[in-house]
Structures are given as structure tokens and as C-alpha cells.
Amino acid sequence: MPLSSKQQERIHTLRMKKRQLMLGGGQERIDKQHASGKMTARERLDYLLDRNSFQEFSVFARHRCTYFGMANKEAPSDGVVTGVGTIDGRYVHVASQDFTVFGGSAGEVHCLKIVDAMKASLRTGTPFIFINDSGGARIQEGIEALAGYARVFYANVELSGVVPQISLICGPCAGGAAYSPALTDFIIQTRQAQMFITGPQVIKQVTGEEVTAEELGGAEAQMHYSGVVHFVAENDQHALDICKRLLSFLPANNIEDPPVVPGEYSLEPVFTLDEVIPDDPKQPYDVREVVHGIVDYGDFMEVQSTFAENIVVGFGRIAGRTVGIIANQPRVFAGVLDINSSDKASRFIRFCNAFNIPLVTLVDTPGFLPGVDQEYGGIIRHGAKLLFAYSAATVPKVSVILRKAYGGAYVAMCGRDLGADRVFAWPTAEVAVMGAEGAAEIVFKREIEQAEDKEAARARFTEEYRNTFGTPYVAGEHRIVDDIIEPSQTRIAVARALESLHTKRELRPAKKHGLIPL
């Protein structure tokens, strides 16, 4: 039966209204967005989500502000597109701020829409993705905008540890608005975007320091100096690609296991690993070579690659199952542990533990970094986070001692007594309180002083100490390591250990929460 003219009119009106909504703040502003190298809020979602999978929430939501002539101003979607869709067939909830509508600024309804999507994430146990591109709190809405942001922060904390939360920073993200991403698990920032609490002008007024917005809040700066950002993206598409890849390693929530990639995995010796450690124990090498020799297809997604580079963390798979890798990097400051590397690793460990991702730790560290600035900066407090994070982690924990495992840093890098389920050592491993030179100076101080040839005595005692603790065999005798393996066998040994640990269950006494030294 043909539609009546009334019905046709209703449908036409609906289509017109929807078309208007799709245009956000209008073609002129969309062109401006494109000219500045950015996608629109809807284009980003189109690219991120599987084709035709998106179902939008609160499509006709509108602001309720009447101040400053706002009553008559339209704000399509109230500046944020929210809803649910799939990525590689797996559900995610999303919020994507629309800079073409009042600069993506966040008012009461805008924030309520975001919170609705977040709560849907929580109820359905699916990841939440927030694409930020906003001038911050909507100035015309005043206190309602601030209250809205507070609701988003509160929801961020409710979701924390239950579902993965990923923030993309694809435009401005300034002031208090930066605290929502900061409360999420991963931040991916594009090179076009800037994120800071106080901008260059305010800093100049208050402290007199001159800095450009890029130097202050650019993606590189917020990764390298502050460790706020986890991934730097060349542009919007790259950021969305990073997000999809990251999600491929993660479970949808804290009661699921990470996805298993089915396949036939070769568990053959990797002979290149036999050549990684140089003959000279002081010689650096790139621990990523070891990581690539352990994970499937050498495929490793490094997190915070230019922050605290003396430790390398990231995701890979072993026999199809996701693992979190934490590895000292001897190429940077000899792989020493310091404040930033402790923070970086601890946070990563806690994420993995929350989402059932086993930990593989590769150890080659001479210890904690000595220095007044480290002590005054709280290396005791920050280093303790690492001990806390490893001790509290109940996921399978496999450690491989590659070379140096000295002092407190040996313990902190998931030594046997910090709960490692399996510890392997390479023949080059040295498990000792400190390096042989330093140890001989202290233990044999008197003998060296009294010797006629002090240099010869020093060399002899150093050698004696090295022969005792400069190999992994004493650690083996004391069951601190389970097995000493040829480097080429590492992938096989770790894969077998993880396979047998897959059913690990470890119960701890019930408590509200532990008190990690923040």
C-alpha cells in the first residue's frame, strides 16, 4: 500500500533532521576541520568501527542552557556522538567529540551522553573508547559543565579495572578535561593534538617561562617528558589503527581471558638469541631483539616507547595468547631502574593483572639508579610500586634472567620470592647482591689493603666473587632459578611454562584494596 502523504511527510521530516545532525556544526566548520588535517567525529567512528555496526545513543539529545543567547542555538548531538559498535566483531562503546559543534566543548548533556555510554560499557563488560577533540568545559554552561566533567571522571573510576578504557587525543584537550584521559588505561595522541593543564600563556604569566603549545603539550612531549601518553600517532587514522591493534591484545573485561589467535605456532629454537649477549658484560645490546625472538612472528606492540626507555614494556603473543612483557633495556643507562621506569613498569603490570594477561619479565639490570635527585624524587617510594605491583599480581609470572640481576633490582624484577611462577636463567646470568668489582672492594677490603700488590689482590678477589655469583649456578642450587637454559630455547621454555600456568588461580585475603605507595 502506498504511504499516505502524512506518513511521507513524517519520514521526510525525520530524514531532514537526521541529515542536519550528520552535518554537525555545518559544512564550513567541517571543511576547517579537514583543512587542519583532522577527521570529523563521525568520520573517526566510521573508520574505527566495523561497517554498519554502529548504533547511536541519544541521537536527538540537546543542551538545556539558556544563558548567553544559547536557548536558540542548535548544537547537533550536543557536540558528542556516542553509541555502540564492533571492532573486528567485538563490541565496544564509544564517545567521539565533535569539534565543529561549539568546539566540541562539554556541557551538561554532552557529559551525560558520555556517561551513559560508559555505564553501558560497564553493564555489558565491553571496552570504552573516548575520542577527545574539545575546547574543554562549555563556557556558556558554567558550573553545569564542570559538574558534567566530574560525572565523567567518576565513571572513569567506576570502569577502571573492569573494562579497558582507551582515550584518543585528536584535538585540543586542555585544563581539567585532560583528567578524563589521565584516568583511563591508555592514551593515544596525534601529532596535531595538544594536551596540557595550563597553556603557554598562563605559564608565561605565572612563571615567566616561554614555551610553545607544541613543546608543552604535543604528543612527543607528553610521552617523553611526562609519561602521560602511551602512543604517538601521525594523524587520526593512525591513532584509530593503534587503538584497533591494542584492542586485539585485550579481553573485553576483567572476567574474560584475552582473545586467543588460533594457528599453528612453531615452537622451534631461535638461534639468533644465542648471539644477543655480548662477550663483554659492560657492552650494551637492545633487549627488543630478545623480545622479538620470544613472541609470535616477532610481533610486539611497545607501550610508551620513548618514555623511561631504560625499561621496555608492551604486548605480544606466545602461541597465540597475549602476554605483557617487561624488560630492562641495557642500551639505555645500562638498564638501571629509576623513578620513571619504576612508574612505567608498575602501571603496566597492574593493567595486565587487572585484565588476566600473564607477565613475562626479562631481567638485565645493575640495580636502582644512585643519585641525590633520585633519592629526593622518591626512588624508595616509586621503586616500591614495582615490588608492590609484582607481588600483588596473581596472573602467571615467568621471569628470564638474561644477564645482570643485582641487589634490590633483582628482587624488584619479579624474582622467585616476589611470586614468579617460573624463573629461567641464561648461562650469562649473574644473580648477586652487587657487581663483582664493588663486592670485592667491600668483602675483601682489609685483604686488599694489606696486600703488597693491591691491584693483583683486587683482581683476584673480584674474580673469586664473580666465579661464585657471576654465574647462575649458585642461584640454581638455591632454587632461585628453575632452570638454566640456552638462549635459543627461551621461546619454547616460556611457552611451555605459560601453557601449564594457564589455569593458575591464586586467592588472597579479601580486603577493600591494597595500599600501593603512590
The residues binding ligand HXC (CB under 6 A) are 29, 102-103, 105, 135-140, 146, 149, 172, 174-177
Q: Is 135 a catalytic residue?
A: no
How many Å apart are CA 427 and CA 319, to the nearest integer? 25
The smaller minimum CB distance to ligand HXC, of residues 55 and 66, is found at 66
Reading the block at residue 91, the C-alpha cell is 563490541
Half-sphere exposure of 165 (CA within 13 A, CB side): 27
10 CB-near residues (< 8 Å, 6+ apart): none
Q: How far apart are CA 200 and CA 221, in angstroms?
A: 14
Q: Which of 26, 176, 227, 438 is catalytic?
A: 176
In terms of DSSP bridges, do strands 90-97 and 80-87 run parallel, antiparallel, or are they unpaired?
Answer: antiparallel
Active site (annotated) includes residue 175: yes
Rounded Cα distance between 206 and 366, Å, is 41
> Of the two residues 65 and 312, which places its CB atom closer to ligand HXC in the complex?
65
CA 169 to chain CA centroid, Å, is 15
Which residue's entry shows cell 604517538? 232
Quick one: which of 280, 272, 270, 271 has its CA closest to 404? 280
The secondary structure of 395-427 as a DSSP string is: S-EEEEEEEEEEHHHHHHTT-GGGT-SEEEE-T
Nearer to ligand HXC, 106 or 319 (CB): 106
Closer to ligand HXC at the Cβ: 125 or 175? 175
Find all residues with CB under 8 Å of 144, minimum gap 6, and list them. 65, 107, 108
Kindly state the smallest distance separating residue 105's Cβ from ligand HXC, in Å: 3
Whether 69 is catalytic: no
Q: Which of 409, 429, 440, 475 is catalytic?
A: 409
- Nearer of residues 136 and 164 to ligand HXC, judged by Cβ: 136
User: How far is 402 from 79, CA to CA, in rounded Å?
Assistant: 52
**Rounded distance between C-alpha atoms, residue 79 and residue 82, angstroms:** 10
Q: What grid cell was written down for 105?
A: 566543548
Contact predicate 300/315, CB 8 Å:
yes
Cβ 73 to ligand HXC, closest distance in Å? 9
- Cell numbers 578535561 correspond to what residue? 177
Q: Residue 464: name the closest of 483, 447, 488 by CA.
A: 447
Q: DSSP secondary-structure letter at 336?
A: -
Taking the complex as a whole, the smallest distance from the CB of residue 314 to ligand HXC amounts, in Å, to 31
Identify which of residues 78 and 185 has a Cβ nearer to ligand HXC in the complex: 78
Tell me how far, at minimum, the Cβ of 347 lies from ligand HXC, in Å: 23
Q: Is 432 tagged catalytic?
A: no
| Smallest distance, ligand HXC to C-beta of residue 317, A | 39
The Cα–Cα gap between 119 and 155 comes to 7
Q: In this complex, which beta carbon is closest to ligand HXC, that of residue 173 or of residue 387? A: 173
Residue 15 CB, nearest approach to ligand HXC (Å): 26
Give the shortest CB-44-to-ligand HXC separation in angstroms: 17
- Which residues are the active-site residues? 175-176, 408-409
